[in-house]
Amino acid sequence: MKPAPFEYHRPSSLADALELLADLPDAEPLAGNQSLSILMSNRLASPDHLVDINDLDELSYVEADNGSVAVGALVRHREIERSGTLAQALPVFPEAAGKIAGPVVRNRGTLGGSLGEGDPAGNYPCVAAALEADLELASAGGSRTVSADEFFIATMFTDREEDELITGITVPRDPFPPARTGQTFLAVKEAAQTWPTLSVAGAVRVDDPEDEEPVLEDARVALANAAEVPLRVPGAEGEIEGEPLSEAGLAAAGETAYEAVNPEEELHADETYKRELAREYTKRALTTAHDRAVA
C-alpha cells in the first residue's frame, strides 16, 4: 500500500514551520520519519500536508550548565548516544539511545519524534519521567513548558496540540551531581528492531561515595511498556532512600514496582511475566545505579 497524496513543505526556520502548522489544514511535522512513513504507508495516517523540519538547525543542540541539561528536538539518537556532554552530565540518556532499534533508526530518528509519539514503550519518555524533565513546545501563538508527568496522557496520546512542535527537553541537574550519582537504563528485548518488553530507567545519589555503606539520599525509577504512560514509581524509590542499599530495601522496591505496573499483555509476555520483569529489573537498575555512584 502507498501513502495517500500530500503536499510537501520544507521551511528554513522555526518561525516558518510554526506558521505552516498553524495555517495548513491537517498538517504533520516530519523529522526522522521512522514512524510516520509506516503509518502513512498503511493508511493509518493520511495528512494533507507534511512540514519537513530537518533544516531547522536551531532545534539541534546539546547544552549543559550548572543548573540543567538541554537537548534540542532534532538531535538524532546517534548524536545522543555519542554525546560527551550527556555522558558526563546525564549518562542515562546515551545509554537509552544506544538501545533504540538498530543503526539505521538511530542515525535518522530524533529526540522530539520519540517524545512526540508518546509511546509508553519508548526509551526517552521513560528517562524523561524518571528525571522529571520539562518539554518545551512552541506554536505560532507562543511557547510553553510542560512537565513529563503532564505531557504523557495515555498510550500514543500527549499534551501536544496539532499546531505545536516539541522544540527540546530540559532536565534539571539537581539532585544528581555526577560525582555522587549513578544512572542506568536497562531493557528486555526480543530483538534489536523490536520494542522492549519492558525497560527501566534508574538513578541514585549517595552521600559519600567513599564510605563503606553510603546512604542513598535520592533515588529515581521509571518503567516503560509497563502502563499506558511511562511510569515513575515513587513508592519503590522511597523503599531505599535514607539508608544504605540493602537486599531488604531492594526486595521491597521490587515488590512495590510489581504492584504499581499495569502492563498490556503481548504475544510473548503476559501480565504476570511483565510484573515479574518490573520487580526484577527495578532491583537490577537500582543496584547498577548504586554501583556506578560509588565506583
Query: pLDDT tens digits for 173-228?
Result: 999 999 999 999 999 987 777 889 999 999 999 999 999 999 999 999 999 999 99
Query: What is the predicted pLDDT for the residue at 282?
Result: 98
Per-residue pLDDT of the chain (295 residues; tens, 9 = 90+): 788 898 999 999 999 999 999 999 999 999 988 777 777 778 878 899 999 999 999 999 999 999 999 999 999 999 999 999 999 999 999 999 999 998 989 999 999 999 999 999 999 999 999 999 999 999 999 999 999 999 999 999 999 999 999 999 999 999 999 999 999 999 998 777 788 999 999 999 999 999 999 999 999 999 999 999 999 999 999 999 999 999 999 999 999 999 999 999 998 899 999 999 999 999 999 999 999 999 9
- Beta-bridged to residue 50, according to DSSP, are 8, 28
List the CATH code of the domain at 7-52: 3.30.43.10
Query: What is the predicted pLDDT for the residue at 197?
Result: 96
Query: What is the predicted pLDDT for the residue at 33?
Result: 80
Query: What is the predicted pLDDT for the residue at 30?
Result: 92
Topology (CATH level 3) of domain 57-172: 3.30.465
Please check whether the two domains, 57-172 and 178-294, share a CATH topology. Answer: no
pTM across the whole model:
0.95
Beta carbons of 3 and 40 less than 8 angstroms apart: yes
* Cell numbers linked to 162: 496539532
In the chain, domain spans = 7-52, 57-172, 178-294
Which superfamily is assigned to 178-294 in CATH? CO dehydrogenase flavoprotein, C-terminal domain (3.30.390.50)
For residue 235, the one-letter residue type is G
Query: What is the predicted pLDDT for the residue at 281?
Result: 98
Query: What is the predicted pLDDT for the residue at 267?
Result: 86
Q: How many CA atoms lie within 13 A of 37 on its CB side?
A: 9
